[in-house]
Amino acid sequence: MLVVQKFGGTSVADLERISSVCDIVSKSVDSGNSVVVVVSAMSGETNKLIGYANELSDNPESFELDMLLSSGERVTASLLSIALNERGVLAESMSGRRAGIVTDATHTRARIESIDPKPLQEALDSGKVVVVAGFQGVNSDGRVTTLGRGGSDLSAVAIAGALRADLCEIYTDVDGIYTTDPRIEPKAKKLDRISYDEMLELASLGAKVLQNRSVELAKKLQINLVTRSSFTDAEGTLITKESNIMEEPLVSGVALDRNQARVSLGGVCDRPGIASDIFGRLAKSSVNIDMIIQTLGVDDKTHLDFTVPINELLDAKPIVESFVNRGEIEEASYDENICKVSIVGVGMKSHTGVAAKAFATMAHENINIMMISTSEIKVSMVIDEKYAELAVRALHGAYELDS
């Protein structure tokens, strides 16, 4: 089997951890696998370098940042390769450049355009484990680029795609995807399998194990992704296509997102295109709108409610206020004390009554639902933040996720 194994910063935090990674890699090699390893910088390194750059400049050039930040992964790659060779596991490190990873020219958040699998394949064919510095590539101009947050995961998935690997394992300090956050509901259970789409919904809803970009790429390339811990032997969670999941659960997980704020607009003027104006201006300022609800009040006036990430509320306010000042909106209020709880599951597609059960559960706990949005595989509800944990636990129990 051809396996790509990716180890994040905490998994290679020091020489002892690198040694543990050697155990994992050599175990995979011993079981007959061909292995490509993708590594992040040792934890803390990237932040240290960013700290340096920010002390030196308020606005460091992005291509200089890439030159700077790409060094951490190179260090880990060579150290791991040295450690593997010392154990008799033939290994070779490669920079992103050497591994054939070509990106666009968007420094600090480049997109992978292509991977030439030849150098990787040749090294694999000669019986070597290849250790690739993650998070980096080169643009067509030959300059080093980095891939932004979660970049090493992307490197791993893209390499798995280029090599048509059987499996891409993402090792972190978390042992898989859970039915909900175990810190909120201790009865939360680790999922054996989950579909790409469910994972995408869970990640965007606040389950921070994998970045959406990696899951999207894995879905596109149809790569079987496993997320597991490098600190334990426990099996992780397989993220795969829906057809690989035998028994589709109604609901796979309950996600919580505390990072939302609600904007409520009352008395929105009745001019055609007013909503498009408001949301157009917000989009232009890079404010991400999540849920939108438009209602006609008893007073015959239009109400518009929407949610934005809390840290974008500051950007959103002046835009909204400009409409208020122009008299096109009568009143605007902002509420940061909300949260969004969601249930996610591919089984919803073919079953009815899933959403109704969620609403009933909320009602039973006397939790007022402020906003609702649904997709094929998800029901999201905005509620008062103080009920966050209660709602998660109640839903987790209602869908019997602890059994």
Q: Where are the beta strands (DSSP E) in 236-377?
A: 237-240, 253-257, 260-268, 292-296, 302-309, 329-335, 338-344, 369-375
Which 116-175 positions form the footprint of a copy of itself (CB under 8 A)?
A: 142-144
Q: How many residues of this chain interact with a copy of itself, rule: CB under 8 A? A: 37
Residue type, 339: C
Q: How far is CA 247 from CA 239, 309, 344, 359, in A?
A: 14, 35, 15, 25
CB of 63 to a copy of itself, least distance (A): 8
Residue with smaller CB distance to a copy of itself, 15 or 310: 15
Q: Does 274 bind a copy of itself (CB under 8 A)?
A: no
Here's the x/- map for a copy of itself, 84-123, by CB under 8 A: it reads as -xx-----xx-x--x-------------------------
* Residue 282 structure tokens: 């917000």
* Residue 246 structure tokens: 């035998």
Integer Cα distance of 207 and 194 in angstroms: 13
Q: How many helices (H) and strands (E) does the chain have?
A: 11, 20
Q: Does 259 bind a copy of itself (CB under 8 A)?
A: no
For 106, how many CA atoms within 13 A lie in the half-sphere containing its CB? 8
Q: Does 68 bind a copy of itself (CB under 8 A)?
A: yes
Residue with smaller CB distance to a copy of itself, 53 or 289: 53
Q: Does 384 bind a copy of itself (CB under 8 A)?
A: no
Here's the x/- map for a copy of itself, 25-54, by CB under 8 A: it reads as ------------------------x--xx-
Tokens 């789409």 belong to residue: 197
Integer Cα distance of 328 and 290 in angstroms: 22
Integer Cα distance of 184 and 395 in angstroms: 12
Which residue in the set 30, 32, 58, 326 belongs to the binding site for a copy of itself (CB under 8 A)?
A: 58
Residue with smaller CB distance to a copy of itself, 39 or 251: 39
Tokens 């909900």 belong to residue: 180
Residue with smaller CB distance to a copy of itself, 43 or 71: 71
Q: Does 57 bind a copy of itself (CB under 8 A)?
A: yes
Residue with smaller CB distance to a copy of itself, 76 or 211: 76
Give the torsion sign (CA, 302, 304, 305, 311).
Answer: negative
Backbone torsion region of residue 114, taken as left when φ is above 0, otherwise alpha when ψ lies between -120 and 50, otherwise beta:
beta
Residue with smaller CB distance to a copy of itself, 49 or 274: 49
Which residue in the set 2, 50, 67, 390 belongs to the binding site for a copy of itself (CB under 8 A)?
A: 67
CB 21 within 8 A of CB 7: yes
Residue with smaller CB distance to a copy of itself, 12 or 223: 12
Which residue in the set 10, 11, 81, 108 belongs to the binding site for a copy of itself (CB under 8 A)?
A: 81
Region from 73-81, 147-155, 253-261, 337-345 binding a copy of itself, contact rule CB under 8 A: 73-81
Residue type, 212: N
CB 338 within 8 A of CB 307: yes
Q: Are strands 225-229 and 237-240 parallel, antiparallel or unpaired?
A: antiparallel
CB of 16 to a copy of itself, least distance (A): 10
Q: Contact positions toward a copy of itself, by CB under 8 A?
A: 15, 18-19, 49, 52-53, 55-61, 64-65, 67-68, 70-72, 74-75, 77-79, 81-83, 85-86, 92-93, 95, 98, 142-144
